[in-house]
Amino acid sequence: MFGLGVFLQILVKHRFPWNIPSHWKREWRSVHLTNLMLAFIIGVMVCTMGLTSFLMVFVPVMLMASAGGAWLFYVQHQFEDTYWCQNDQWDFHQAGLQGSSYYDLPRLLQWFTANIGFHHIHHFSVRVPNYRLESCFNNIVELQRATRVTLGQSWRLASLKLWDEEQQKLVGFKGSVGHVKHNNLWDRGPY
C-alpha cells in the first residue's frame, strides 16, 4: 500500500489516466503537457548525469515521496469515525467535515507538506490556496470541528481496513472477525 503499488500509481497510472472521459479536453491537455515537461526534464537530467546516476537518485526519492504522499492521503480519510454514506443519504458538508481529518502535524512537517493537514478544508473548496488553509481553519469555527489526528495517533490508523455498517466506523481485520461470524456470511452458500 505504501511501497511499489503507489509508486506505480504515480509513475504510470497518473501519467496515462485512461479512465478520464475523452471529451474532457482540458484535463487530457493538462496530463499531456505535464508528461511533455517531465520527459524534457528527465531527458536533460539523463543527458547531464547519465542514466545510472539518474535512476540511483530518482527511484529512491520517488519511492519515499510516493509512500509519504500515500500516507498523508490515507491518514486524512481512513480514521475510525469517518463519514461513509449511500448516495441517497450523502451530504456534501458532512462529507467534507467528517469524511477527512485535520492532521495536526508539528510546525515543520506542516510547512514541508504545504498545510496538507488542513485537507478537510480542501473538501469544501479546492480554490483555497495552501498558504490560506491555516487562516481559514483558525477563523471558521465549524472547520475546527473536524476529527483531529496527531502524528502519534496516525500510526494506528494503518490497521483500519473495513467499514462496519452496524457500528458506522472503520475497523481492522482483527476487529471484524466476530462481526463476520455473527452475520453468518459463511453459511449463505454459493452466490
pTM for the whole thing? 0.71
How far is CA 101 from its chain centroid?
11
pLDDT tens digit sequence for 83-136: 787 778 888 888 778 888 899 999 999 999 999 999 889 888 889 999 999 999
Q: What integer pLDDT is reported at residue 8 of this predicted model?
A: 81
Residue 191 has pLDDT above 50, yes or no: no
Q: What integer pLDDT is reported at residue 170 of this predicted model?
A: 82
Q: What integer pLDDT is reported at residue 190 of this predicted model?
A: 39
pLDDT tens digit sequence for 17-67: 888 888 999 999 999 999 999 999 999 999 999 999 999 999 999 888 888
C-alpha cell at 44: 536533460
What are the two backbone dihedrals, phi and then psi, of residue 148, each rounded to the nearest 5 degrees? -95, 125
- pLDDT band of residue 173 (cuts 50, 70, 90) is confident
Q: What integer pLDDT is reported at residue 16 of this predicted model?
A: 85
The answer to whether the beta carbons of residues 111 and 94 sit under 8 Å apart is no
